[in-house]
Amino acid sequence: MLPIQLFRQNKELVLEGLKKKNFKEMDLVDTIINLDERRRALQVENDSNAAAANSAAKAISQHMVKGEKDQADVLKAQVTANKERTKQIAQDLADLENELNDTLVRLPNLPHSSVPAGKTPEENEVVRSGGDMPSLGSNNMPHWELADKYKLIDFELGNKITGSGFPVFMGQGARLQRALINYFLNFNMDAGYKEYCPPFMVNTATAYGTGQLPDKEGQMYHCTEDGFYLIPTAEVPITNIYRDVIIPETELPVKMTAYSPCFRREAGSYGKDVRGLNRVHQFDKVEIVQLSRPNESYDLLEGMVNHVEKLLQSLELPYRILRLCGGDMSFTSALTYDFEVYSAAQERWLEVSSVSNFEVFQANRMKIRYKGADGKTQLVHTLNGSSLALPRIMACLLENNQTAEGIKIPTALQPYFGKDMIS
């Protein structure tokens, strides 16, 4: 949620940022400013009434001491009227606060100045690329055929048990999943991230804190009887660990990592581009999250990008890094880098990670603050990234490493998988 001070101090900056994100309801900016002005005026009146009440109380006491009962009664009547007005102001303030908050949460985060303009993924900027492009023989197979050949994944069984988009990993496929999760977690912990194992269901306040509500409500699975949501990413529960917490400045940056299954409805997804593991409703992912001082967050973002890049390099996968344009960014992000890995059998790039800086947007919702040396508290910046999402990583590992003898396992992954080949 954007800080209200931003609207007071720099309305044009807000409008410019919303335009770059292709936000449609621009009139909400004036609505927010008007609501804030009305709220502040009421607060001034409320403070004035409180001061008048205190002054009247002293005056009544003095009149009573002097035996001036008539004068005291006049003031008492004024105090009674003042109390009624104060009650009404309190109710009006509460209503305005709710209306202002409900309007503020409809606005996305503002993009960083480095975010390119644009509306579609085709307008994202390629920052850099790396890795060697594989050269496959004429008999190469896409990952769903390889999964069937080597009995790694049963898509139809998942459809029987649950429905489309819930694959069943088995045998060496399940073993590879576990190897990837353990490798990713250890890679992150070696870089100073503390491991967590969070709940995989969250309440409304938690989903609201990281911006899934109200923006992505239709994309989450909702357990209506209990009011819980199945998480779309571990970012949601582990960032909320620090909700309503004031962090000592000496503890920043906070670095956290977690594995979780992720659940996404992905309504309307169909066709060849979502076949196999390309788009599923349940998948595994390892996440990294940082909480930082505002003046350090963009340096830390670059560090997180480099961290994910090294992880992909260790898997010996061809990749590219994109800086997302305004129209392709998430609701909550100020700057996002996407990582894509090349799928040789499908001959297309597949997104495997997003690394983002949210600045104070999430922290303002969750009231995550830190106390500086001067004793003042201010909001932290929050950052997160996939490190990594498994489905498309597995798809590319299977496709890019297929040979006539089997599927080669990258050297870094072999100690976790226990052998160098799927056969």
Domains of the chain: 4-104 (1.10.287.40), 121-422 (3.30.930.10)
Other C-beta atoms lying within 10 Å of the C-beta of residue 419: 10
- For the residues 144-173, what does the mean pLDDT come to? 97
Reported as a pLDDT band with limits 50, 70 and 90, residue 75 is confident
- For the residues 300-318, what does the mean pLDDT come to? 98
Cα–Cα distance for residue pair 113/319, rounded to 1 Å: 25
- What is the per-residue pLDDT for 244? 98
- For the residues 359-372, what does the mean pLDDT come to? 96
Reported as a pLDDT band with limits 50, 70 and 90, residue 56 is confident
Q: Is the pLDDT of residue 270 over 70?
A: no
Q: Are 126 and 322 in contact (CB under 8 A)?
A: yes
Q: Which residues contact 412 (CB under 8 A, 6 or more apart)?
A: 183, 314, 315, 316
- For the residues 106-116, what does the mean pLDDT come to? 97
Cα–Cα distance for residue pair 129/113, rounded to 1 Å: 23
Nearest to 356 by CA among 31, 80, 111: 111
Q: Is 283 annotated as a binding residue?
A: yes
Q: Is the pLDDT higher at 271 or at 349?
A: 349
Q: Is 360 annotated as a binding residue?
A: no
- What is the per-residue pLDDT for 78? 80
CA 110, distance to chain mean position in Å, is 14
- For the residues 304-311, what does the mean pLDDT come to? 98
Q: Is 233 annotated as a binding residue?
A: yes
Cα–Cα distance for residue pair 327/70, rounded to 1 Å: 70
Q: Is 265 annotated as a binding residue?
A: yes
Q: Is 266 annotated as a binding residue?
A: yes
Cα–Cα distance for residue pair 315/174, rounded to 1 Å: 18
Q: Which residues contact 6 (CB under 8 A, 6 or more apart)?
A: 13, 14, 110
Q: Is 316 annotated as a binding residue?
A: no
Q: Is the pLDDT of residue 343 over 60?
A: yes
**What is the rounded radius of gyration, in angstroms, for the C-alpha atoms of the chain?**
27
Q: Is 264 annotated as a binding residue?
A: yes
Q: Is 353 annotated as a binding residue?
A: yes
Q: Is 296 annotated as a binding residue?
A: no
- Range with lowest mean pLDDT among 158-172, 203-217, 290-304: 203-217
Percent of the chain whose pLDDT exceeds 70: 98
- Range with lowest mean pLDDT among 68-72, 136-140, 336-340: 68-72
- For the residues 298-325, what does the mean pLDDT come to? 98
Q: Is 354 annotated as a binding residue?
A: yes
Q: Is 305 annotated as a binding residue?
A: no
Q: Are 232 and 213 in contact (CB under 8 A)?
A: no
* Cα dist from 203 to 199, 214, 286, 364, 402, whole Å: 10, 13, 21, 18, 43
Q: Which residues of 108-119 are buried (b: 16+ CB within 10 A; e: fewer)?
A: bbbbbeebeebe
